[in-house]
Structure 1
Amino acid sequence: MTVVSAPERVRAAAAAPPLPARRSRGDVADVLPRWLRVVVLVVILAMVLVPVAYIVVASFMPDLDVAAGKLVPDTVTVENYIRMWSTVDLAKGLGNSLLVSGVVAVVSALLAVITAYCLVRFAFKGRLTILRGLVALQSVPGTLLLLPLFVLFSSARTYLNITVVGTSTGLIITYLTFALPFSTWVMVTYLRGLPRELEEAAMLDGCSAVGVLRRIVIPLSWPGIIVAGVFAFLLGWNDVLFASVMTRPDTATAAVVLQVFGSAQEGGALPLYGQLMASSLVCALPVVLLYLVFQRYLIGGLTAGGVK
């Protein structure tokens, strides 16, 4: 057996060819050429920003200029933002949307974190079935549930003497049936990344399961809770189909008001396109502000659970 001395090993290591450098994470962008990445980004941004830019410009144009298809206004006016409140009952629609979407977001997020905590931290019969059911429910189109929900809520008036159809409460219950499965799955993914040691330490100090949930889990789960709440809010804010069936004129949401307003402009002598553009921007403003306020939490909540 040949014994190699330490100096000889050092010289051999120095003479050996260097190992290839590991590719850094930034090298992943080299899959596409730089010019192609720039072209793709410009095309995507144009597809998104050009229609939004036209809506903004058209909201400050007279109705005649918008109807004529002009891209550059001859005159700039803010009359559309003033007249739209009397042309369409937008204020009541915005109030109904804020009420329904806000309640759905809060209730869905709270119920989701409680349900997800039970599914993640406790073992019981049927747990895996529930988790699989949460995923399976995401594949069911909401359109298929419109008629069954309407018949069910209409029957409540006949058999229980409770009016559900046409009320904000009925619309909130409708949205919760879609928001809860998704919100619960978001929280399940997030809570799986929380260390159990914190909860075990709290239980050793005398905390009950409810105390651990209130003092440990919820304070550490704000990014996931906000993600669940924001997506539930968007579900109620953007929906038109269920809101058109489940509401009356006095409980109609902003999306329904805009739909009725837009349909009324078809075939008119002078379509109020300028006011319609202004109304659309006003209805989109709460969602934009919501994203700007909770942007930091949304990024953290959406990426949680992706890396273990």
Structure 2
Amino acid sequence: MQMINKETKKFLNKLLLYILVIFIAFYMLFPFWWAVVSSFKNEAQLQMVPATFLPRDPVTNKIFFDLKNYRSIFNDGTFLRGLLNSTIVATSVTLLALAVGSFSAFALGKLRFKGKNASLYIILAMTMFPQVTVLTGLYAVINALRLPAMASMILSYMLFTLPFTTWVLTSFFKELPVELMQSAQVDGATPFQSFKYILLPLTAPALVTTGLLAFIAAWNEYLFALTFTSIEPSARTIPVAIALFTGAVSRQEPFGEIMAAAVIVTIPIIILVLYFQKRIVAGLTAGAVKG
């Protein structure tokens, strides 16, 4: 009887775990599923009551996928220009954050100098400021320097991605055995050569993980992009371009086109995550086990 109770308890625990996992998966995936379904609906399908979980013809109630929204956004020069601008800005921010952050992390993780701990805490403190608190002052500085909108966004995004990148990479450099650097120095390598040829390749998983997070942050950023491109519409990134979509009819909310654009914008992130999946997992678990 006790054995049955234990087996029943074990079964119920597994059942509850599966129910919880299914609920979390549904909670996380349903918004994206709804966006995909809505992107294939025309105006009449979007106004159907009750709403349908698949695109259906309002008359015959048969499943019908309409590609009108996708044709509309790809024929929109503003959307395509925003896609290109976002790619340039996000890629530039990621490369700069990794380049500068890896040098800083190497110095903070492996070199000895006065004020190292204070520098780490200052870097950590910089990540605590919300964007809106520095927006006004930053906009005044950039306006006084007369920087173009694209450069302004790249520099402003670096204020938030660089401290995060440096802090995360520092922990990875600290985990690397100091004997690697010492043996390289015995062979005549300079600190820069030790960093470039020995330590940096070993931190590839960390670089991929932090780089992807920096790319996503720059790709999705809206507040700074809206502010800095207000007087230069040609430099608008994709979040701003989507937010400023206008319908073909006066006072129309182009919900279907917005959903189609959201799906297209999400696809590059999904591709990057799937392509670098193994390195991301290695980067997240590195240093978790010692020995």
Coarse TM-score class (shorter-chain normalised): 0.7 to 0.9
1:97-133 Cα offsets, whole Å, 9 max, x none, are 0000001001101111110111111111111101111
Match of 1:171 among 145, 153, 166: 153
SS of the residue corresponding to residue 61 of structure 1 reads coil
User: Residue deviations 1:105-164, cap 9 Å, x none?
Assistant: 0110111111011111111111110111122222211211111111111122xxxxxx21
Matched, 1:40 2:29: no
Please name the residue that 2:172 is paired with. 190
State the distance in 2 between where 1:202 and 1:98 align.
38
Change (3 A) 1:217 1:186: same
TM-score by length of 2: 0.87
Q: Which amino acid aligns with 1:292?
A: L
The alignment status of 1:81 with 2:63, answered yes or no, reads: no
Report SS of the residue matched to 1:140: coil
Alpha carbons 1:105, 1:229 under 8 Å: kept: yes
2:28 equivalent to 1:56? no
Task: Give CA deviations for 1:37-81 in whole Å, capped at 9, x if unaligned.
Answer: 122112111111122112111211212211335313222222221
Q: Which residue among 243, 249, 257 is the counterpart of 1:259?
A: 243
The whole-number CA distance in structure 2 between the counterparts of 1:275 and 1:195 is 52
Aligned in 2, Cα 1:167/1:282: closer, same or farther, shift over 3 Å? same
- What's 2:110 paired with? 121
**SS of alignment partner, residue 33 of structure 1:** helix
**TM-score where L is the length of structure 1:** 0.82
Q: Provide the aligned C-alpha RMSD in A.
A: 1.9
Q: Residues of 2 paired with 1:298 and 1:108: CA distance? A: 17
TM-aligned CA deviation for residue 252 of structure 1: 0.4
Aligned to 2:60: none
1:152 and 2:152 matched: no
SS at match of 1:192: helix
Cα offset, 1:270, TM superposition: 4.5
AA paired with 1:102?
A: T
Q: Which amino acid aligns with 2:163?
A: P
List runs of 5+ in structure 1 lacking aligned partners: 1-29, 157-162
Q: Does 1:199 align with 2:188?
A: no
Q: Bigger radius of gyration, 1 or 2?
A: 1
Question: Match of 1:298?
Answer: 280
| Counterparts in 2 of 1:231 and 1:251: CA distance versus 1, 3 Å | same
CA distance in 2, matches of 1:79, 1:154: 40
Deviation at 1:304, TM superposition (A): 2.0
Separation (CA, whole Å) in 1 of partners of 2:46 and 2:168: 43
**1:245 to 2:227 alignment:** yes
Match of 1:191, as an amino acid?
Answer: F
- Runs of 5+ in structure 2 lacking a partner? 1-9, 58-63
Q: Note the C-alpha offset of 1:169.
A: 0.8
Q: Displacement of 1:271 after TM fit?
A: 3.4
Give the C-alpha shift of residue 303 in structure 1: 2.0
Identity of paired residues, percent? Answer: 28
Deviation at 1:88, TM superposition (A): 6.0
| Counterpart residue identity of residue 37, structure 2 | V
Equivalent residues of 1:171, 1:243 under 8 A apart: yes
Q: How far apart, CA to CA, are the structure 2 residues paired with 1:211 and 1:151?
A: 41
Q: How many residues align?
A: 269
